[in-house]
Each structure stands twice: as structure tokens, then as C-alpha cells.
Amino acid sequence: MSSEPPSAPSLADRTPWWRSRTAIVTGVLLVAAALAVCFLRQGGGSGEVFLQAASADGQDPFTRSTARSTGRYASVMDDAGAAAAAGASRSLPGATPGLYAGTRNAAGCDVDQQIGYFTENQGRGRAFAGAAGIDPDAIPAYLHGLTPVHLRADTRVTDHGYKDGSVTSFQSVLQTGTAVLVDDRGTPRVRCACGNPLGPPVAVQGTPRARGGAWDSYDPAKVVVVTPAESVLDAIVVHDPANGGWFERPVGSSGDNDSRATPPKGGLPPGPSHPHAPGRSH
């Protein structure tokens, strides 16, 4: 057997780096879309998904609520146009205009208060950092880099809670109107009502079994999964249900730099004209 090392590929055989990177990114996005179908598919077996109303403390809260109530919100998925945009997989990229709601020049979450809670309780801060995948010292910069908005659809996530000194993890559906902090790819990362870090959903075994109080408008067929935008966003295009208008919120800002936007093309519709009050459950 020859011990000669393999010869290096010729320049003609080498794949340009940008083609490889494009293929990787495309593959990741296709996998994310495919997983979204899996997360929401119905089958046999068992699995728990916790329903969390917009105003509820929620499961295993990390902190007291830092959410600010700024209005009433209805699920955009009640609109046939939104359902068509989401498609059969019910997944929506984080860059989708109108995926989130809010009030211009008003943040839905007090980020500084959130940071204060973790500064006062470093044990919880370390647990939060571990669940969020960051260094504890980076918590202030991390939270300030997120953007406060409200969900416009009941949204499936992986929720990370804090109980008896340890991090818990569970699948959850967050109600329309829930105040969240989203990252620069438009994906929810923190639930403001409890300070819990959020991640993409994980498929449960068989048919998801809902736990917790369902709200009047809850419909499993209208739950969505938010997938990361293809590239880093400069701003989030937000719908204001109070006046039917649109505005842009720069990523990492809390409302001070909001600017008026024209109705987007290719985004989600304004939604139903009769919103439900967040937090109402039965």
C-alpha cells in the first residue's frame, strides 16, 4: 500500500468558498422549514406542550414580569391571507413584515429592569446565560441587542425555566400578544412576562398534549413556528393594531428610534379588526 499523501486538488477542482457557504446556508434553511412541519405534525403517542397566556407568569419563571401592556392583539392567522403566507408547514421567517406587533415609540418590555434582576441574583443570571448560550458577563449586552415586540400569532417555542436552582426545558405555545425580545434574525429569545430564554421548538413524541389554560381563540391549527431570517436584519417591520399603521424598529432598540413605514408588500396582512384581549383564558 502506498504511503504517498493524497495530492491536493487542482484549482479547477476546488469549489469556490462562496458557493460552499451558500449551499450550507440554503441547507440550514431547508432543514428549518422541514423541522417546522415536524414540530406541528399530529401523530400517535404522547408529549406535553404548555400553553402560556400573554399575561400569565408562565411555567418556572426566571424573574418577575418586565412586560408592558400596550394594547390588544388578535392572531393574524385568523386572516386567510396570513394562513396562505404561512403555508402548510405554518412556519414564518423572522424577516416577515408584520410578523410582530407593537406601539410606535413604546417598548413592550423593560430591558433594563430585566438586566437588574439578573444583576441582583447572579445565580439566576448564570443559569439564564447557560440556557441562552452566552457568558454571564455578556447578559447586559445580549439583552440590549434584542428587540422588544409582541407576537401576532400563537407561537411554538422551546421555553427554558428556572426551578429549585436548576434550568428546566419544555415545549410551549405562547399566546398572541405575548411580549418577547427577538434577535437580529427575528426569532423570539426571551419571554418578557417571566424572563425565560427561548429557543426553536423541538418535536414531541406523537400527538402534542396541551397543558395549561387555553385561551378563547386558541386553535392548534393556527400555531406557527418562527424560523431565522436568511440574513441579519437592520430593523423589524412592526404592525400597530391601535391605528392600523406600520413602523420600523431598529434591531436592538426599544422604541426611541422607531420610524413610520409604508404598508409592506409581501408581508402579513393587517389582521382581524376585532382583536382578543391578551391573557384571557378558560
Residues above pLDDT 70, as percent of the chain: 78
- Examine the pLDDT at 155 and tell me if it is beyond 90: yes
- Examine the pLDDT at 229 and tell me if it is beyond 60: yes
3-state SS of the chain? CCCCCCCCCCCCCCCCHHHHHHHHHHHHHHHHHHHHHHHHCCCCCCCEEEEECCCCCCCCCCCCCCECCCCCECCHHHCHHHHHHHCCCCEEECCCCCCEECECCECCECHHHHHHHHHHCHHHHHHHHHHHCCCHHHHHHHHHCCEEEEECCCEEEEEEEEECCEEEEEEEEECCCCEEEECCCCCEEEECCCCEEEECCCCCCCCCEEECCCCCCCCHHHCEEEECCCCCCCEEEEEECCCCEEEEEECCCCCCCCEEECCCCCCCCCCCCCCECCCCCC
- Examine the pLDDT at 277 and tell me if it is beyond 80: no
Dihedral angle sign, alpha carbons of residues 174, 179, 96, 145 = negative
Burial class (CB in 10 A: 0-12, 13-18, 19+), 123: exposed
Give residue 44's pLDDT band: very low, low, confident or very high (50, 70, 90): very low
Instruction: Specify the pLDDT at position 209.
Output: 85
Instruction: Specify the pLDDT at position 71.
Output: 54
**Residue 170 near residue 59, CB atoms below 8 Å:** yes
Give residue 279's pLDDT band: very low, low, confident or very high (50, 70, 90): very low
Q: Measure CA of the first residue to CA of the last residue in the chain; give whole Å.
A: 74
Give residue 81's pLDDT band: very low, low, confident or very high (50, 70, 90): confident
What are the pLDDT digits (tens) for 98-111?
Answer: 999 999 999 999 99
What are the pLDDT digits (tens) for 4-27?
Answer: 444 444 434 444 433 443 343 334
Instruction: Specify the pLDDT at position 85.
Output: 77
Residues above pLDDT 90, as percent of the chain: 59
What is the average pLDDT score of the chain?
82
Cell of 120: 441582583
Instruction: Specify the pLDDT at position 26.
Output: 38
Instruction: Specify the pLDDT at position 271.
Output: 66
Q: What's the pTM?
A: 0.80
Report the alpha-carbon distance of residue 177 to residue 69 in Å, rounded: 9
Cell of 61: 419563571
Report the alpha-carbon distance of residue 95 to residue 234 in Å, rounded: 10
